Structure 1
């Protein structure tokens, strides 16, 4: 794993310049350098690993879109500084507009990463003296990453621009159009099928390559894609192919997130970070999620100034069943300050582990776990004819959590049970928004979110220090299920269209 981190650091330098630019301002300032690159396998490996480095930038902000837009998390606002009102708070209150900076950053980062992925894919076959099997592995890794980006984009925005070849000139970026959702999904499926055929199993990688995408990674994500498409037979087929690949649940839920168990037998894919050094590969999730003014009470470093984002809501905290061992791992109900007073502001606890340098944690971010595979398989089976053959999969997850087995449910009751189980098992792993959109109709989503919003207005999870809600806060009208295309992209490319409602 140490070698992979070193490659990530080197490869990140290759792509970092272009990754800071707007997609539709695209030029390739590294092209002259890149054309002289790709001479041997080491350089090819560095370029592929640059894609992994970009994933760090991608997942760092995903909680804003995939958790705070749902009923899972809220904010601890700062009454003296409301500068984030139209940036982060907007997602919790469904007040996002096309000028939102976080939307633009996520959109641009995704397409700049895709540009680099496409460029690397176009160069692989031309690299001499590399075994065909190794070239296939690199292609599979890049195809998985491309599919992952497009899967997030299509779920956030609906139909999006699909590009699978390097752009010849910057002017080509001004001639793009949005593809239909079906076409985007078709491209995702092609990439994941090809990646699954080319990638080795996780067990075939050496220790230095821990964390790379594998056959199970591609098949697991393909199952999630099919489930989102409501193609339940294909979802079941893909997910069943993961079962014999050697994955299993860890014995206790706490270990899943412990940095000492990175890339464990339960992990199909996680974004790699490394703290405790100056390599620039560290994470800092707990510093983002811990309550403001908690200083060292949560992080362990008195000089720290946490941000208070992604605060667990009353809704999710109250949904844990008695005895659910995941509860204490997922969140803490508050902290004890330096004066010995308990402060009842909850915080996400999954990414809270001892570290040696302030602000530089060692926590990886989980993207796909074996428990997710089991729950998706149970869902796919239930949707095809009821829960008869699905209990064995959901009950494995519940048993690990210390809960009793389910039985005797109707198909609709099992749907509710799956949503509940996924919410508890995958809490604060950036799945809730997508799960709600996949499993509910738009009308059901509207009802659920507005009811949640009314409860937050009546009984806020975190005291608002006298700041009143605005009339538009927590008003979900349905069209917000898709985010707006950033206004700058539409200004620059007249072929692009905006999503309804924005």
Structure 2
């Protein structure tokens, strides 16, 4: 049984305040009446659910892995103000935004009031994960580090720069989580290994490869002792029967028995072509990328797992058991490729190739023939695309490497960020501002 869900029956919350940032879940006991914050911590985990489908859609449909068919959804492939469309705001950006701030509020409650160092460490990991997702999507965001923000003080709603959020919240929270948590657990909760992995990814995202390298190295070298290893067979990473397999460092656990805050079809439906908005979502560009990986007569074992050219969709998360597929937030192959990237960017190109070839060889491919730093950089980016396709990574990789505009062919850098939900701007009476271009 997934322990994370044992108390969720207490946490399916209906909230009706004017501004989602000010909300405190009404059917949670107040902090001064609680002595056990396990239920509040479970709520912080639960609220990650509504972030995963928007991350999946932004990560692959906004990039060159997947396509929308039915208006207004092709706006994801138009790099203009069309993403401000009300239905897109309501279906993707508002549920994403609201759920993550609810997770943050629950985490704040645990951090402020719990006496359990482990619970606080998990809460700090979840708060950092939430803010990382928010900053990746929107850039500058509102920061709330209180369990009980003053609803009359709207000044605290003003957006803070991405740099400030990284420096003042995400990085210190993950550092604290690393020191507070064990590298292993038996129930899929946050660990020190997950916190190290996420902090390494944060530093790579910021281009601070020197800080990222030792963190990612520690994860790669310490994985086996923590019971984490690459699956021998790539296909065994995915599918409901493989949830929390040995390659998974952290996943948002999903269960069909628990109502999801995201009120529309789930990530596996979008990638599988099971939603009428995109019945054939596979972008021909991804097919071409697999063709290139198989040049010279090689067979990329990831291909059949990732793309179905007859259906023009992805079978990576099969329809069977779909509502119970966990969303993989961090897995070891992702970390190995980030480590390879950090090594290459700090001048250790031969060592970077060693890490890259671990992933290529598992995919049935020979060692990379790249030799120069620039060529290895391209090789790593190409393998990240194929390894992590339909896992919500591609768009964010293109943005952080500064290649999104070139690869996707648009000129206005404003559209590297998504629009702030209109409801939040309205309810804050304009204190929360919109991103430029929208």
TM-score, structure 1 length as denominator? 0.77
Q: Which residue of 2 aligns with 1:180?
A: 161
Contact 1:11/1:53 (8 A) holds in 2: no
**How far did 1:279 drift?**
4.8
Take 1:285 and 1:478, find their aligned partners in 2: how far apart are those partners?
27
The C-alpha deviation readout for 1:164-212, integer Å capped at 9, x for no partner, is: 112343223454212122111112000001001101111xx24xxx210
Partner of 1:89: 74
Within-5 A mapping of 1:410-421: 410-421=372-383
Residue equivalent to 1:112 = 102
Aligned ranges 1:21-32 → 2 under 5 Å: 23-24=19-20, 26-28=22-24, 30=26
Query: How much has 1:408 moved relative to structure 2?
Result: 4.6
Counterpart of 1:214?
191
The answer to whether the 8 A contact 2:56-2:267 is kept is no
Alignment of 1:2-151 (within 5 A): 2-7=2-7, 9-13=8-12, 16-18=13-15, 23-24=19-20, 26-28=22-24, 30=26, 33-35=29-31, 38-40=34-36, 44-77=37-70, 82=71, 85=72, 88-94=73-79, 95-97=82-84, 99=86, 100-101=89-90, 102-125=92-115, 135-151=116-132
What does residue range 56-455 of structure 1 map to in structure 2 within 5 Å? 56-77=49-70, 82=71, 85=72, 88-94=73-79, 95-97=82-84, 99=86, 100-101=89-90, 102-125=92-115, 135-173=116-154, 175-186=156-167, 187-202=169-184, 205-206=185-186, 210-243=187-220, 244-246=222-224, 247-275=228-256, 278-280=257-259, 284-291=266-273, 308=278, 311-320=281-290, 321-322=293-294, 323-334=299-310, 345-352=311-318, 354-355=320-321, 361-440=323-402, 444-450=403-409
| Offset of residue 93 of structure 1 | 2.0
Partners of 2:345 and 2:232 lie apart in 1 by: 29
Q: Point out where structure 2 has 5 or more consecutive residues left out of the alignment.
A: none
User: Does the C-alpha gap of structure 1 residues 314 and 21 become closer, same or farther in structure 2, counting only changes over 3 Å?
Assistant: farther
Summarize the Cα distance change of 1:439–1:28 in structure 2 as closer, same or farther, 3 Å threshold: closer
- Which of 419, 425, 438 does residue 490 from structure 1 map onto? 425
1:487 to 1:370, Cα distance in 2 relative to 1, 3 A: same
Distance 2:130 2:279 in 1: 24
Q: For the residues of structure 2 that align with 1:245 and 1:362, how far apart are their CA atoms?
A: 26
Q: CA deviation at 1:27?
A: 4.0
- CA offset digits 1:134-171 (Å, max 9, x no partner): x1111111111111111111111112111111234322
Deviations 1:305-331 (A, max 9, x none): 765368120001210122100011012
Deviates more, 1:175-184 or 1:395-404: 175-184
Q: Distance in 1 between matches of 2:334 and 2:355?
A: 10
Taking the aligned partners of 1:213 and 1:11, their CA distance within structure 2 comes to 21
Q: Secondary structure at the match of 2:415?
A: helix
* Structure 1 residue 25, shift from structure 2 partner: 6.9
Higher mean C-alpha displacement, 247-256 vs 386-395: 386-395
Shift of 1:399: 0.5
C-alpha distance after superposition, 1:22-58 (max 9, x if no partner): 6457343617733475233xxx212111111111121
Secondary structure in 2 aligned to 1:33? coil
Following superposition, the deviation at residue 217 of structure 1 comes to 0.4
What's the CA shift for 1:290? 3.3
| Secondary structure in structure 2 of the residue aligned to 1:185 | helix
Alpha-carbon contact 2:68-2:277 (below 8 Å) kept: no
| Partners of 1:290 and 1:308 within 8 A in 2 | no
Partners of 1:25 and 1:185 in 2: CA distance: 19
CA–CA separation in structure 2 for the residues paired with 1:5 and 1:234: 35
Question: CA separation in 2, counterparts of 1:214 and 1:394?
Answer: 25
* TM superposition outliers: structure 1 runs of 4+ over 6 Å: none
Q: In structure 2, what is the Cα distance between the partners aligned to 1:351 and 1:274?
A: 14
Cα contact 2:21–2:102 (8 A) shared by 1: no
Counterpart secondary structure, 2:229: coil
TM-score, normalised relative to structure 2: 0.88
CA contact (8 A) 2:64 2:283 kept: yes
Equivalenced residues, count: 418
Structure 1 residues 310 and 498, CA, compared in 2 at 3 Å: closer, same or farther?
A: farther
How far residue 281 of structure 1 moved from its aligned partner, in angstroms, is 7.1
Larger radius of gyration: 1
**Cα distance in 1 for residues equivalent to 2:397 and 2:280:** 18
Aligned partner of residue 28 in structure 1, secondary structure? coil
